[in-house]
């Protein structure tokens, strides 16, 4: 089975953290909390920049897409 990193339809803002959680098969709340901690402890800017880059680079999920 080929897994693709895509934005999730379970989204709070853009679906980036939800997509990462689906890819690694973990709870999206844990990924969102980890991202929040990363942003707070890195003075916000690197975390925000990473989120914006992933928001642009990650494709949207296609629920009807069959591999």
- Quick: pLDDT tens for 4-35: 888 888 778 888 999 999 999 999 999 999 98
pLDDT of residue 67: 47
Count how many domains the chain has. Answer: 1
- Residue 9: inside a domain, yes or no? no
Longest distance between any two alpha carbons in the chain, whole Å: 41
Domain around 27: 16-56
Residue 50 domain flag: yes
Mind listing the pLDDT tens digit for each residue in 29-65? 999 999 888 888 887 678 888 889 999 998 887 754 5
Cα torsion at 35, 59, 2, 27 (round to 10°)? 30
Q: pTM of the prediction?
A: 0.78
């Amino acid at each position: 089975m080929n897994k693709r990193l895509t934005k999730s339809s379970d989204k709070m803002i853009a679906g980036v953290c939800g997509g990462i959680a689906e890819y690694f098969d973990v709870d999206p709340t844990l990924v969102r909390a980890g991202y929040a901690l990363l942003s707070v402890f890195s003075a916000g800017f690197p975390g925000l920049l990473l989120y914006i880059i992933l928001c642009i680079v990650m494709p949207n999920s296609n629920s009807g897409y069959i591999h």
